[in-house]
Amino acid sequence: MADDQCQFITEGTSLTRPPGFVGEDYPYGKDKMKMYIKSTQYRIWLIITNGDIRIHRLEAGWIDDNLAIMELNTKARYTLTCAISKNEYNKICRLRTTKEIWDSLSINHEGTEDVRLRNVVTLTRHFESFTMKDEESVDDMFGRLQVLLKNLNAIG
């Protein structure tokens, strides 16, 4: 119990620090990251999912509104990069926008759209044939069901 709680705390339960992702259990990390970003500043989530807000002026001609937009774009990228391990960062550091980073993490850990569709079919079959195992407690069965539903939900 103490080990679980210690890991939970070091994982990033702060409201001011994004949850950490080291490359394992991507559906869990993705869900936590989405909740964190949406709860702190929804505009950043829109930048991550839709792409950076473009500024159609040369940097020398920027006004305060342009600076605010650039700060949001940069904050979105910084939020993502603060949440990933150095190993994950090394995989995405060459990418220019937060959308590219988010999409790359998704493809690296969930696969392409074809792979996701195959996973949906497989998980749906598992769900449809889900039964309680011999000598399994109701709590254990419920836990397995929750993991299955979480994985289905994470894929979409």
Q: Quick one: pLDDT at residue 103?
A: 92
Residue 9 has pLDDT above 60, yes or no: no
Q: 68 is written with which tokens?
A: 């605010």
Give the pLDDT of residue 2. 45
**CA–CA gap between residue 26 and residue 86 (Å, rounded):** 16
Round to whole Å and give the CA distance between 120 and 116.
6
What is the pLDDT at residue 11? 52
Name the maximum alpha-carbon separation found in the chain: 71
Residue 8 has pLDDT above 90, yes or no: no
Which region among 7-11, 50-54, 105-109 has the lowest average model confidence (pLDDT)? 7-11
* Dihedral angle over CA of 73, 79, 85, 88, nearest 10: -30
Of the ranges 37-41, 104-108, 112-116, which one carries the lowest mean pLDDT score?
Answer: 112-116
What tens digit of pLDDT does each residue of 114-155 get?
877 888 888 899 999 999 999 999 999 999 999 888 888 877
Q: How many helices (H) and strands (E) does the chain have?
A: 8, 0
Domain regions of the chain by residue span: 2-110, 113-155
Quick check: 7 pLDDT over 80? no
Q: What is the CA radius of gyration of the chain?
A: 19
User: Is the separation of the CB atoms in 151 and 123 below 8 Å?
Assistant: yes
State the Cα–Cα distance between residues 50 and 26, nearest whole angstrom. Answer: 21
- pLDDT, greater one: 113 or 42: 42
pLDDT for 63-89, tens place per residue? 889 999 999 999 999 999 988 889 989
pLDDT in tens, 10-39: 554 666 777 777 777 788 888 888 999 999
Element (H, E) at 121: helix 113-128
